Structure formats: C-alpha cells, structure tokens
C-alpha cells in the first residue's frame, strides 16, 4: 500500500488545523482560558473618496494612493450599494495619524467607511439611507456606541477635511448617530473655555485654527477658523454632564 498520498493528506489536515489556531508565544506554556473576546472597534470614521467613481475607489482601496497602500472596511456607492473590503475584526489602513480623545491609533480602534463623493457634490439620498443602515448594523452588532461616529477631519484636523462641509451630520444625528446640540440649549456661562470644551468633545487642539475648522465643518457646514457665539453655545451643549445639552436621539426607521 502506498502510504505517501495518505501522509500528504494528513499533513494538509494538520496544516489546516494550525491555520485556525491563535498565535502563541513559544516562550510560554499554552494553558488556554475561555475568558476572552475578539478585539472590538470603538469608533466609526467616515470619509469621502475624493475620486470619480466607485470602480476607481475600489481599485485604490485594494492597492494604494499617493501616500502608499490604503484601505477601508466599507465603501458606500452613490447608488446605495455597500461594499466590504476588510473584515470588521481586522485593522484597515484608513485613518492614518491622528487623535480622538485618548485614542492615538485610530486604525486599531475603528471601522472605516469610505463614501463615494468627490467633496464638491451633495451626498445622494440612496447613499445616506444605505449609510444609516450600515451604521445601525455596525453599532448594534459590534456594540460601538452610537455617539462614536466621527469624520476623518475630526481626528486629523491639520491634514484632512473629509467628509467635508456638505456631509449631512444633522441627518445622522436625527437617526441617532454621532452627537448634535439640542436646539434649545442655553448659551455658555461667562468665562467658558472653548478650547477645553473642544478637547472634551474629543478634538486635538494643538493647532487651534485647524481644530476650529474641523469643528465648524461638522457643526456649522463651513470651514471658518474663528469661533462665534453660536459655536460657544454648541460646545457648551455638547459638553454638559450626562448629555443634557444633546439633541434627543431617535431610533432609525427601516430604510433610514
């Protein structure tokens, strides 16, 4: 009896079994514990592609751009089609250097969603509805707080402007994602520290003008670099204890 084919099959079976084993440190004795979980993202970062088509973006996200290899977990087309490029549990290369609150490695802590948009046109209705469905799925299934939906410009205000001033943040907030000030939020008290409030929201304030621009793109829809009284009211609302100044979140309805 020729044992070589059987030996080959056994070797393949052993290799297949090893492929599913978690990495182990050869210095230590493996004594497995059931008390663990997968590493889970805690933030969702929204981008626009700044390219001409879904096909071009799919190619870029599977190869590279001018800065090197780049990817994201999802891409949402302007027709509402949703594409997944990287598994939720894997680290996609979408955020780059930046900071949000105490998180400095956003790629390791986030889900990246690219949106097919060149930065100069309104986001389409099918696209927004698809994004809302995707956000509902991700926040529910991965237990990501619904407030933790941010833009690329929020975490990297000195070098990024996406998803840009045309992005409908209020629409997302009305569906229960991200943060938004209540319409009846009161103005701040005298001596209110706007820079401290920006840090409490999550922004890095090492470059104040860039940070203010990112803040205003999200909450005012422009790219101004000076805070006015309405900005102070918004910041005060966003940083009140227990979310007292936030707009009431509602559950998204099917279809957005």
Catalytic residue ranges: 114
Asked if residues 85 and 72 have their Cβ atoms less than 8 Å apart, the reply is yes
Phi-psi region of 44 (alpha: psi -120 to 50; beta: other; left: phi over 0): beta
Residue 146 neighbours by CB under 8 Å, 6+ apart: 135, 139, 176, 177, 178, 249
Residue 225 burial by CB count (10 A; 0-12/13-18/19+): exposed, middle or buried?
Answer: middle
13: three-class secondary structure by DSSP: helix
What is the token pair recorded at 92? 């996609």
Other C-beta atoms within 10 Å of 166: how many? 14
Q: For 202-254, give the DSSP string.
A: T---SSHHHHHHHHHHHHTSS---S--HHHHHHHHHHTSGGGTTBPPP-PPPT
Query: What is the Cα–Cα distance from 236 to 243, expressed in whole angstroms?
Result: 11
> Which residues in 95-114 are b (16+ Cβ under 10 Å) and which e?
beebbbbebeebbebbbbbb
Residue 140's nearest CA partner among 84, 101, 88, 74 is 88
Residue 18 DSSP symbol: H
């Amino acid at each position: 009896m020729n044992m070589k084919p059987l030996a080959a099959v056994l070797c393949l079976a052993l290799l297949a079994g090893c492929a599913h084993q978690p990495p182990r440190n050869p210095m230590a004795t493996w004594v497995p514990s059931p008390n663990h979980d997968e590493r889970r993202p805690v933030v969702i970062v929204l981008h626009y592609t700044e390219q001409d088509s879904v096909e071009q973006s799919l190619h870029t996200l599977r190869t590279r751009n001018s800065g090197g290899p780049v990817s994201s977990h999802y891409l949402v087309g302007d027709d509402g089609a949703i594409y997944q490029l990287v598994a939720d549990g894997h680290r996609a290369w979408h955020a780059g250097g930046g900071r949000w609150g105490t998180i400095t490695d956003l790629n390791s802590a986030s889900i990246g969603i690219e949106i097919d948009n060149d930065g100069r046109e309104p986001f389409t209705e099918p696209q927004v509805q698809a994004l809302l469905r995707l956000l509902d799925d991700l926040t529910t299934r991965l237990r990501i707080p619904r407030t933790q939906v941010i833009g690329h410009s929020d975490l990297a205000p000195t070098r990024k402007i996406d998803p840009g001033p045309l992005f409908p943040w209020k629409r997302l907030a009305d569906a229960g994602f991200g943060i938004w000030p209540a319409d009846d939020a009161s103005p701040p008290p005298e001596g209110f520290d706007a820079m401290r409030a920006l840090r409490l929201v999550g922004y890095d304030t090492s470059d104040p003008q860039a940070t203010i621009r990112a803040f205003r793109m999200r909450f005012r829809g422009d790219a101004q670099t000076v805070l006015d009284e309405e900005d102070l009211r918004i910041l005060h609302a966003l940083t009140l204890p227990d979310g007292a100044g936030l707009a009431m979140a509602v559950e998204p309805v099917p279809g957005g």
